[in-house]
Amino acid sequence: MPLGGKARVPVPNIYLYTFELLVFAIFFLCLRHAWKAGGPAIWQLCAGVVFGLLLEIATIRQLHAYSYGQFAIMIFGAPLGVGLGWGSMIYAARAFSDATNLPEWARPLLDALLALNIDLAMDAVAIRLGMWDWGQGLQDQYFGVPYANYWAWFWVVFSFSAGLRWLVRLPGWVGRWLAPLGALVIGLAGVLFTNKVITFWIPHTFHVIVVAGLLLCALTLVLALRSRRIRPAPRLASLIPLLLHVYFLTAGLLSGAILRPPFLLGISLLMFALALYVHSSRGAPVTSD
């Protein structure tokens, strides 16, 4: 406290709280859809949320790579809203890819790429809004976001989605009720292992090459399989990513964060346009839940 002065009362960060409210609303949309689909779908969604929370807590403790701003609801240093966001994004991505002609083994690749479409527009803006901090300033690597973050995003979604898709094929109650729990274990193991690979085994100077190579290979494979929708997808499969894009574009413009530098605005608009194309202009039209 300054001598002779009054203690400053922290100013609430409106962007943290509005983002938190948005994520809770998004989770409610997914829960509503899962409720109509039945108990196993609810359990799959909730397992994704638990997975998201656990991986955030484990990553913070394993790597100490970043810290979060003070959201309204925190669990061991990780915002509950971030866990809800992970579960909702994975649920929505799976709903979209299940409506495509991709073979089952390739759908986790599309799920991961759909999530990365969001993060490429979100992460660099979010750190400028004070939502989280990588501790390396705003110019390091990708405008303050380590390249390894995009590697991690890919494996987070891929590991859980692949584990769930594999385990739900098991017969009877095992596939219906134990698959989400098994996917949670597979997902955590996959993420912690791949985090270790990129952090401790691959030199920092090669991170951008390794991450770009991984994403390019995944995208090339999905395109080579001539991915397209062959039946209607639930509305939330398109609504959730578009809501997140609109939020960060709006918050970034209102705060000016997305203009530091203006290149971030260009990337956000490009990712938003790509999301609009993928979710609105390919294959069968999106329908209501």
**Dihedral in degrees, nearest 10, Cα atoms 46, 152, 255, 258:** -140
pLDDT score recorded for residue 66: 85
Mean pLDDT of 264-273: 97
Q: For 229-268, how does the pLDDT look when each residue is reduced to its tens digit (9 = 90+)?
A: 888 889 999 999 999 999 999 999 999 999 999 999 999 9
Q: What is the pTM of this model?
A: 0.91
Rounded mean pLDDT, 266-277? 96
Distance CA 235, CA 273 (A): 18
Mean pLDDT of 17-39: 96
Average pLDDT of span 135-158: 94
Q: Convert 138-175 to b/e letters by CB count within 10 Å (16 or more is b).
A: eeebbbbbbbbbbbbbbbbbbbbbbbbbbbbeeeeeee
Query: Residue 165 pLDDT more than 90?
Result: yes
Segment among 57-71, 87-101, 116-130, 218-232 with least mean pLDDT: 57-71
Token pair for 236: 């939330």
How far apart are the C-alpha atoms of 66 and 213, rounded to whole Å? 24
